C-alpha cells in the first residue's frame, strides 16, 4: 500500500471520464473540501492477500498523521499513479472502503473520492514541514529497513501444548475454544485465567487505547514522538526522573549480585557469521541500516556485544558462574498494530545480565538465585509480589521430562500456579525460559522479568572456559532481565494505578519514584513565604523532592492540583502552623490531615524510601515559574 498525505487548505475534485468499467457512480459533479488531510492512495497486488490487516495498518497510519498535523477532516483519494504493481479494481475498492469504515468507526470526519474515474483536481498544500508525507505500508513488516528473522517466521508454526502447573507439582493440560479456557478450575485465579487466554489466543493487537496512555500524557511523564518512527517515545522531566531512578536501582541490584557492568555498541554487522546465525534464532524483527561501509542492524538485546566480549576473554572454570551486565538501549521492529503506549515499543531500555555456567547443574542452581533476585527487584520497585503478576514457563518436552523437580521448585518459589507451554520440538537457542507477566486493564499481558537457559550461543560465538582438566569447553548461558524493559515497568505501575482508581482508591507512585514528594502551600503567599522557604530548605537538605505552589489560585484549587499530580504529602502553612512551629500535612493515601513537627515527616519519608536511589526535583520548584509540556 502506498499513500501520499497532503495537509491542504483546499481541495476541489471534478470527475471527468470513467477510467475502468468497474468505476463507481459519482454522487456529485464537483466536490470541495477545506482544511483537510488528503490521502492519495494506491492498493498493490501484495495487499490483496491481507486486505483486512493492510486496511487496519493504513487507517492507523492515517490517524497518526492526522494527530501530527491537527487536521479535522480526512479525504481518501484513489490515486493509482503511486504504484506500478496495482491490485485489481475489485480488491482495491474493497480495501479503500474498509479503511473508510475503520476511520468512520473512530468518529472521524471522512470523505472518499469516487473510485475509477479520471478526475480534474486542484489542491493547495499548506507548506509546513509535515504537510507532505509519503508512506509505504506492508503487513510483512519488512519495509523501511525492517527484517524478519527465521525465528519469527517459525514461531507461528511451532507446535506446543499448554498446561497449568500447581505449586504441588501437578500438571493440568488445558485447551481453549471461543476464548474460553477449559481443563483447570480458575475460580481462585481469575487473573491467571485472563493471562492464559491471552497467551493461547495470541491476539496482540490492542483495539483501544490502554488506560496508562491517558495517565502518562496527563501527568506529563511520557508522550508519543511524531517526529520519529512509531514506538519511540519522548520522556518529559518527571517521566525521565522515574525512568532514571528505576534504571539506577536495577543496576545497583545487579552489581550487588556480582555482575560486571559493560557497555557495548547498539549497531552490528548484519553479515557477521555468528551474529547473523543468532538473528535467525531469536524471535524478533530487526531494524537494518545501510552505513557507508556495510549493512548493519540495531541490537534488540545486549547479547551481541556481551557474547563478543566473552569470546575474547580468558575464563577458568573457577571464574564461573561469570555474570556480565548492561543497561541496554534496544530496538525491535514490532508490528504496527501491536504498538501501544509503553506496553510494546520499538525502542526501549533493557537491563540485560548474562551468566556463563560450566554445566546444566550450575545453570539451574544459578537460575533459582536469579529468580529470587528478579522477584525481590520487582518488589523493591513497588509491586506486590506475586499478586501483581502471572508466571509463565516455556520449555521443550525433553527438558521438562528430565527436570520436573527443578521446574516445580521454581513454581513453589513463585507461590501460586503458573502457565506452562511445552514445545514438542526445539527451535530457539534456549530450551527453557520463564516470564513474569503483568495483565493490564485491557486484559493484555506484557513480560517484565525473564530468564533463559541458552544451550547454543556458547558454541555459536566460540566462547570458551578452561575446565578442571585443562581443556576448553563451551559454557551454558543464562539471559536475565531482572525487571524487564524499564518502560514496561512504568507501564505496569500506571496500569496498576488505573485498576486501583476503578476501586475508588487514591493512587500514587511508590514514594521513592514520586516526582514531587511534598507540595508546600502557603495560605497567603505574601505573608507566609518566608516560613515556606525555610521548610523547603529543610526538606531539600534531607534529599526530599519538594515544590511550592506560589500561584494566586485559591487554596482548594491548589490542593486539587496537587491531588491531580499524585503528590503524597500536601503541606498547608498559615498563621497557626507558624505560631506552633508545626505543619499541617494532608496524606494522599487516606485523605487524613495531621498537625506534626517537621522532623516527624522527614523521618517518615526517609524510613519509607530507605536505601533507594535519590535524585533532585526534575522541574522548577515554584509553580509560578513552571512551563507546561502537555495541554
List pLDDT tens digits, range 303-351. Answer: 999 999 999 999 999 999 999 999 999 999 887 777 889 999 999 999 9
The pLDDT of residue 196 is 96
What pLDDT was estimated at residue 143?
42
Establish how many alpha carbons lie within 13 A of residue 455's alpha carbon, considering only the half-sphere containing its beta carbon: 14
Q: Which residues contact 150 (CB under 8 A, 6 or more apart)?
A: 280, 281
Nearest-angstrom CA–CA distance, 118 and 111: 18
The answer to whether the peptide bond before residue 304 is cis (omega within 30 degrees of 0) is no
pLDDT digits (tens, 9 = 90+) for 169-216: 999 999 999 889 999 999 999 999 999 999 998 776 666 789 999 999
Low-confidence winner among 40-49, 95-104, 366-375, 394-403 (lowest mean pLDDT): 40-49
User: In the structure, what pLDDT confidence band is assigned to residue 428 with cuts at 50, 70 and 90?
Assistant: confident
Assign 3-state DSSP to the chain and report helix, strand, coil percentages, each to 5. Answer: 35, 30, 35
Chain-centroid distance, C-alpha 57: 19
What is the chain's length? 631
Question: What's the pLDDT score for residue 335?
Answer: 78
Domains and CATH numbers, the chain: 2-140 (3.50.80.10), 160-496 (3.30.930.10), 511-625 (3.40.50.800)
- Which range, of 7-11, 202-206, 430-434, averages the lowest pLDDT? 202-206
β partners of residue 329: 349
Burial of 95 (0-12, 13-18, 19+ CB in 10 A): buried
DSSP letter for each residue of 24-59: PPPS-S-EEEEEEEEEEEE-BGGGGGGHHHHHHHHH
Residue-wise pLDDT tens digits, 138-161: 765 434 445 555 665 556 566 789
More confident residue, 286 or 615: 615
Tell me the pTM: 0.79
- For 31-62, the pLDDT digits (tens) are 999 999 999 999 998 888 788 889 999 999 99
C-alpha atoms less than 13 angstroms from C-alpha of 597 in its C-beta half-sphere: 3
Query: What nine digits make up the cell of 428?
Result: 530457539
Amino acid at each position: 500500500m502506498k499513500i501520499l498525505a497532503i495537509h491542504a487548505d483546499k481541495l476541489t475534485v471534478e470527475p471527468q471520464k470513467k477510467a475502468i468499467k468497474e468505476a463507481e457512480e459519482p454522487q456529485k459533479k464537483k466536490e470541495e473540501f477545506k482544511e483537510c488531510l488528503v490521502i492519495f492512495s494506491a492498493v498493490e497486488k501484495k495487499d490483496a492477500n491481507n486486505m483486512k490487516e493492510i486496511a487496519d495498518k493504513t487507517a492507523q497510519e492515517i490517524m497518526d498523521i492526522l494527530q501530527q498535523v491537527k487536521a479535522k477532516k480526512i479525504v481518501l483519494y484513489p490515486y493509482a499513479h503511486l504504484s506500478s504493481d496495482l491490485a485489481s479494481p475489485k480488491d482495491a475498492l474493497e480495501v479503500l472502503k474498509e479503511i473508510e469504515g475503520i476511520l468512520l468507526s473512530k468518529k472521524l470526519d471522512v470523505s472518499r473520492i469516487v473510485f475509477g474515474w479520471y478526475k480534474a483536481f486542484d489542491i493547495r498544500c499548506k507548506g509546513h514541514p509535515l504537510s507532505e508525507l509519503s508512506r509505504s505500508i506492508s503487513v510483512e513488516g519488512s519495509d523501511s529497513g525492517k527484517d524478519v528473522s527465521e525465528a519469527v517466521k517459525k514461531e507461528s508454526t511451532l507446535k506446543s501444548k499448554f498446561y497449568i502447573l500447581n505449586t504441588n507439582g501437578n500438571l493440568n493440560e488445558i485447551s481453549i475454544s471461543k476464548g474460553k479456557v477449559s481443563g483447570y478450575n480458575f475460580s481462585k485465579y481469575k487473573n491467571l485465567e485472563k493471562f492464559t487466554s491471552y497467551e493461547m489466543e495470541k491476539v496482540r493487537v490492542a483495539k483501544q487505547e490502554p488506560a496508562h496512555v491517558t495517565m502518562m500524557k496527563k501527568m506529563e511523564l511520557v508522550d508519543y514522538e511524531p517526529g520519529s518512527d512509531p514506538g519511540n517515545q519522548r520522556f518529559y522531566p518527571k517521566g525521565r526522573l522515574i525512568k532514571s531512578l528505576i534504571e539506577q536501582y536495577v543496576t545497583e541490584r545487579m552489581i550487588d549480585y556480582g555482575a560486571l557492568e559493560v557497555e557495548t555498541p547498539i549497531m552490528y554487522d548484519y553479515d557477521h557469521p555468528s551474529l547473523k546465525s543468532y538473528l535467525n534464532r531469536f524471535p524478533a524483527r530487526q531494524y537494518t541500516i545501510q552505513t557507508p561501509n556495510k549493512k548493519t542492524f540495531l541490537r534488540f538485546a545486549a547479547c551481541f556485544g556481551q557474547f563478543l566480549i566473552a569470546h575474547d576473554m580468558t575464563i577458568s572454570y573457577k571464574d564461573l558462574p561469570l555474570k556480565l551486565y548492561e543497561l541496554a538501549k534496544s530496538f525491535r521492529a514490532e508490528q504496527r498494530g501491536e504498538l501501544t503506549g509503553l506496553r510494546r515499543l520499538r525502542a526501549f531500555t533493557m537491563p540485560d545480565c548474562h551468566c556463563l555456567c560450566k554445566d546444566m547443574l550450575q545453570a539451574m542452581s544459578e537460575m533459582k538465585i536469579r529468580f529470587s533476585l528478579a522477584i525481590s527487584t520487582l518488589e523493591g520497585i513497588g509491586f506486590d509480589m506475586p499478586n501483581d503478576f502471572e508466571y509463565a514457563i516455556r520449555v521443550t518436552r525433553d527438558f521438562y521430562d528430565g527436570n520436573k523437580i527443578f521446574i516445580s521448585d521454581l513454581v513453589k518459589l513463585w507461590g501460586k500456579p503458573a502457565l506452562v507451554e511445552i514445545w514438542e520440538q526445539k527451535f530457539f537457542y534456549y530450551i527453557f525460559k520463564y516470564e513474569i507477566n503483568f495483565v493490564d486493564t485491557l486484559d493484555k499481558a506484557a513480560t517484565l522479568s525473564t530468564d533463559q537457559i541458552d544451550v547454543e550461543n556458547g558454541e555459536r560465538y566460540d566462547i570458551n572456559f578452561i575446565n578442571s582438566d585443562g581443556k576448553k569447553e563451551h559454557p551454558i548461558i543464562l539471559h536475565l532481565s531482572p525487571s524487564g524493559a524499564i518502560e514496561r515497568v512504568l507501564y505496569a505501575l500506571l496500569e496498576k494505578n488505573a485498576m486501583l482508581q476503578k476501586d475508588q482508591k487514591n493512587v500514587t507512585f511508590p514514594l521513592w519514584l514520586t516526582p514531587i514528594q511534598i507540595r508546600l502551600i502557603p495560605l497567603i503567599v505574601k505573608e507566609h513565604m518566608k516560613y515556606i522557604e525555610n521548610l523547603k530548605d529543610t526538606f531539600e537538605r534531607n534529599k526530599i523532592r519538594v515544590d511550592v505552589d506560589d500561584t494566586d489560585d485559591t487554596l482548594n484549587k491548589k490542593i486539587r492540583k496537587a491531588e491531580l499530580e499524585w503528590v503524597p504529602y500536601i503541606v498547608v502553612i498559615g498563621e497557626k502552623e507558624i505560631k506552633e512551629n508545626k505543619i499541617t500535612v494532608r496524606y494522599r493515601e487516606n485523605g487524613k490531615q495531621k498537625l506534626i513537627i517537621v522532623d516527624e515527616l522527614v523521618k517518615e519519608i526517609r524510613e519509607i524510601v530507605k536505601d533507594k536511589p535519590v535524585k533532585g526535583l526534575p522541574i522548577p520548584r515554584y509553580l509560578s515559574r513552571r512551563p507546561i509540556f502537555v495541554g
